[in-house]
């Protein structure tokens, strides 16, 4: 009997030995995929957002990668389908993602410390076009066809698509500015920071909206609270008062100087503005 017990005990130790000698591997942190509305051609978006994802990965310990979206609608649906877990969205794209999928606003970028921007109408210097009304009967460029805020902004400045001899959707603000400078269009809708970027090349601003709530980084509603908190804190620490912060923000968008927490209610004025353009 004693011999049997010794043999059984030895067999038990032998079976347990591999587990005792080699520690269990910890499960790898799940990958966080960041999406974005198409603000520029894909290669430029990858360049801009990769610097930001690298910063976030370094400061959160999370595995973060960037996945560009071809247009506004895709960015919304990819976030809603959890193909991306965080996305950089226009106000209208965020409102759509909130309504359809319950997207949660995380942070918004600031310009001079404020989470606002304006949409403007830009024309070429020397064209003789000085006011939005001068564009009636002219050619006009929009960005994304689903960007209702662009149409609402143009309407705010007294124009509708029926006022133009021709209009087209060029996807990106950079494309609009370049097309206006090339003489392909007489005017176009631009984000104020893009108009500033092209000012020295000959773009002038002839009309503007009031300040609008900024673009936003929103997350999928299923994102764990601890992951959300890590991302939020890393964004809030990103400022232009240190070399690393300056380099990251300059690469992402040179007009931005930091981030603030933002609430869904901040986008209520945009909801009101685009309401007449929603089907």
pLDDT at 228 over 50: yes
Tell me how far apart the alpha carbons of residues 271 and 279 are, in angstroms, rounded to a whole number.
13
pTM for the whole thing?
0.76
- Same domain flag for 147 and 169: yes
Question: Considering 163, 188, 209, which residue would you say is the last residue of a domain?
Answer: 209
Q: In this structure, is residue 135 part of a structural domain?
A: yes
Residue 76 lies in a domain: yes
Q: Which residues pair with 87 in a beta bridge?
A: 35, 218
Q: What is the pLDDT of residues 236-276, one digit of tens each?
A: 999 998 888 899 999 999 889 999 999 999 999 999 889 88
| pLDDT above 50 (res 40) | yes
Inside any domain, residue 52: yes
**Containing structural domain, residue 46:** 31-115+213-267
Same domain, 144 and 95: no
Task: Give the pLDDT confidence of 188-199 residue by residue, as tens digits.
Answer: 999 998 999 999
Give the separation between CA 163 and CA 135, rounded to whole angstroms.
8
Cβ neighbours of residue 162 under 8 Å, at least 6 residues apart? none
- Specify the DSSP class assigned to residue 81: T
User: Does 110 share its domain with 219?
Assistant: yes
Q: How many CB atoms lie within 10 A of CB 268?
A: 12
pLDDT digits (tens, 9 = 90+) for 94-127: 999 999 999 999 999 998 898 999 999 999 999 9
Does residue 28 carry a pLDDT above 50? no
User: What's the CATH number where 173 sits?
Assistant: 3.40.190.10
Helix (H, G, I), strand (E, B) or coil at 130: coil
Confidence grade of residue 26 (pLDDT, cut at 50, 70, 90): very low
List Cβ neighbours of 259 (8 Å cut-off, separation of 6 or more). 107, 108, 109, 110, 217, 235, 236, 238
Residue 17 inside a domain? The answer is no
- The whole-number average pLDDT for the span 36-55 is 88
Say if CB 147 and CB 75 are below 8 A apart.
Answer: no
Whole-number pLDDT of residue 116: 92
Domain total of the chain: 2
DSSP assigned state of 135: G
- Tracing tokens 């409102």 back to the chain, one arrives at 95
């Amino acid at each position: 009997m004693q011999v049997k017990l010794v043999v059984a005990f030895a067999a038990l130790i032998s079976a347990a030995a591999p587990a005792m000698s080699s520690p269990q591997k910890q499960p790898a942190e799940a990958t966080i995929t960041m999406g974005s509305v198409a603000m520029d051609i894909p290669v430029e978006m990858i360049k801009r957002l990769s610097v930001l994802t690298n910063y976030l990965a370094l400061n959160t310990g999370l595995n973060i990668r960037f996945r560009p979206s071809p247009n506004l609608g895709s960015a919304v649906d990819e976030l809603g389908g959890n193909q991306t877990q965080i996305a950089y969205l226009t106000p209208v794209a965020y409102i759509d993602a909130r309504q359809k999928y319950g997207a949660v606003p995380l942070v918004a970028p600031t310009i001079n410390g404020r989470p606002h921007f304006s949409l403007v109408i830009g024309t070429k210097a020397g064209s003789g076009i000085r006011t939005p009304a001068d564009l009636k009967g002219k050619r006009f460029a929009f960005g994304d066809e689903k960007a209702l805020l662009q149409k609402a902004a143009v309407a705010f400045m007294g124009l509708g698509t029926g006022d133009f001899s021709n209009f087209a959707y060029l996807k990106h603000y950079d494309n609009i500015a370049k097309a206006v400078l090339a003489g392909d269009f007489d005017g176009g809708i631009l984000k104020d920071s893009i108009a500033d970027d092209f000012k020295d090349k000959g773009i002038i601003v002839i009309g503007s909206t009031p300040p609008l709530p900024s673009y936003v980084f929103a997350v999928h509603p299923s994102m764990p609270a601890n992951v959300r908190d890590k991302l939020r804190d890393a964004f809030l620490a990103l400022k232009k008062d240190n070399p690393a912060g300056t380099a990251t923000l300059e690469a992402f968008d040179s007009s931005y100087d930091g981030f603030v927490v933002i609430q869904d209610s901040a986008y209520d004025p945009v909801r009101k503005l685009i309401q007449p353009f929603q089907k």
